[in-house]
């Protein structure tokens, strides 16, 4: 994929799409049945359906592959139709039409899975089970404050793995009046914005986790300045996309990224399923 195409697709991904949860899953299920003869398509769709099933049951989902249809999928489908139908058989033309008419919509649904997660579960960063296990190992039981926690998937995952660890979960909750999913947190969330939360817990924590900070606000930069001015040795772990979909421009312009081999190993497994390249980053 060339850089211009990637940039255009990322711009589309950053725009909010209206996703109807029940319709979304049903459509994917129907497309899985339609493309039953094509393992690459079934593999992608089944991964999404399993991810959704786990979340519905209160469990963290598995890591996902890149949710992009193969570049040669139309050639693969055409060859399959040719092998099954004679060139003058109208059934072949009809089947080919069904496939080619469905592909653009299937492609759109796969690309919009992050929007579905936001709309349905209030999950912005894809908080999967492997990532949380590795993050818990990195934190090594040290007390942690999560700011901008949304519905609290990261904190809940950490608490499940280490019930004795101090995990303080906070969010301003300013967004829940506009988003129904904010009314269904998965753990107890203290209604504090990031700056107030830091002031309250500064002397009780060793780590701060900030996931998917908004790119149109500067709270992330204000928090970073507070951490820098603190007498406490507090590490800031950011989950997001550098110079991309998350965090303010001024934050990325002024932050110092700390090289950390353990985090590099986590990021080697923390692969994004779409064109938003989120990573775990230690910032100072």
Give residue 172's pLDDT. Answer: 87
Both 189 and 141 in a single domain?
yes
Examine the pLDDT at 10 and tell me if it is beyond 50.
no
Residue 153 CA to residue 132 CA, distance in Å, equals 9
Both 148 and 266 in a single domain?
yes
Give residue 1's pLDDT. Answer: 39
Mean pLDDT of the chain: 91
Per the document, the length of the chain is: 284
* Residue at which a domain ends, from 121, 155, 172: 121
Examine the pLDDT at 63 and tell me if it is beyond 80.
yes
- Mention every residue, 6+ apart, whose C-beta is less than 8 A from residue 79: none
Both 25 and 141 in a single domain?
no
Give residue 184's pLDDT. Answer: 79
Both 7 and 146 in a single domain?
no
Both 182 and 116 in a single domain?
no
Per-residue pLDDT tens over the stretch 250-279: 999 999 999 999 999 999 999 899 999 999
Both 111 and 176 in a single domain?
no
Which band of pLDDT confidence, cut at 50, 70 and 90, is reported for residue 180? low
Both 224 and 109 in a single domain?
no
Give residue 183's pLDDT. Answer: 60
Give residue 179's pLDDT. Answer: 58
Examine the pLDDT at 177 and tell me if it is beyond 70.
no
Both 111 and 164 in a single domain?
no
Per-residue pLDDT tens over the stretch 226-241: 999 999 999 999 999 9
Helix locations, the chain, DSSP H: 3-14, 21-34, 39-56, 73-84, 90-111, 113-121, 129-139, 153-161, 194-201, 219-229, 249-254, 261-269
Lowest pLDDT segment from 3-17, 75-89, 143-157: 3-17
Examine the pLDDT at 16 and tell me if it is beyond 60.
no
Both 166 and 238 in a single domain?
yes
Q: Which residues of 42-81 are buried (b: 16+ CB within 10 A; e: fewer)?
A: eebbebbeebbeebeeeebbebbeebbbeeebeeebeeeb
Per-residue pLDDT tens over the stretch 120-153: 998 999 999 999 999 999 999 999 999 999 999 9
Residue 123: count other Cβ atoms within 10 Å of its Cβ. Answer: 24
Give residue 182's pLDDT. Answer: 55
Left (φ > 0), alpha (ψ -120 to 50) or beta: where does 107 sit? alpha
Give residue 144's pLDDT. Answer: 98
Task: Please report, for the domain that includes residue 256, its CATH number.
Answer: 3.40.50.150
* Domain extent at residue 225: 129-283
Per-residue pLDDT tens over the stretch 271-280: 899 999 999 9
Both 180 and 66 in a single domain?
no
Over range 29-51, report the average pLDDT: 97
Give residue 110's pLDDT. Answer: 97
Give residue 13's pLDDT. Answer: 46
Give residue 14's pLDDT. Answer: 46
Both 256 and 140 in a single domain?
yes
Percent of the chain at pLDDT above 90? Answer: 85
**What's the whole-model pTM score?**
0.86
* Residue at which a domain ends, from 121, 152, 180: 121
Examine the pLDDT at 100 and tell me if it is beyond 90.
yes
* Residue at which a domain ends, from 64, 88, 121: 121
Both 113 and 146 in a single domain?
no
Structurally, how many domains does the chain consist of? Answer: 2
Over range 172-182, report the average pLDDT: 65
């Amino acid at each position: 994929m060339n850089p211009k195409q990637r940039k255009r697709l990322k711009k589309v991904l950053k725009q909010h799409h209206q996703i109807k949860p029940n319709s979304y899953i049903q459509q994917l299920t129907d497309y899985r049945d339609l493309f039953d003869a094509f393992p690459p398509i079934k593999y992608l769709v089944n991964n999404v359906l399993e991810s959704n099933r786990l979340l519905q049951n209160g469990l963290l989902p598995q890591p996902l592959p890149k949710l992009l249809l193969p570049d040669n999928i139309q050639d693969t489908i055409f060859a399959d139709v040719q092998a099954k139908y004679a060139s003058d058989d109208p059934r072949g033309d009809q089947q080919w039409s069904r496939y080619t008419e469905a592909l653009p919509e299937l492609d759109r649904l796969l690309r919009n899975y992050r929007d579905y997660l936001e709309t349905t579960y209030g999950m912005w960063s894809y908080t999967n089970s492997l990532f949380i296990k590795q993050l818990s190992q990195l934190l090594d039981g040290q007390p942690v404050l999560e700011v901008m926690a949304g519905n609290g998937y990261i904190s809940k995952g950490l608490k499940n793995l280490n019930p004795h660890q101090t995990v303080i979960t906070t969010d301003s909750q300013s967004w829940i009046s506009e988003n129904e999913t904010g009314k269904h947190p998965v753990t107890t969330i203290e209604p504090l914005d990031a700056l107030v939360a830091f002031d309250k817990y500064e002397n009780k924590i060793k780590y701060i986790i900030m996931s998917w900070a908004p790119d149109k606000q500067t709270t992330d930069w204000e928090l970073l300045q507070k951490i820098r001015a603190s007498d406490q040795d507090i590490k800031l772990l950011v989950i997001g996309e550098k110079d991309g979909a998350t965090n303010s421009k001024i934050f990325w312009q002024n932050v110092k990224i700390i090289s950390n081999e353990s985090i590099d190993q986590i990021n080697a497994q923390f692969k994004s399923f779409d064109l938003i390249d989120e990573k775990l980053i230690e910032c100072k």
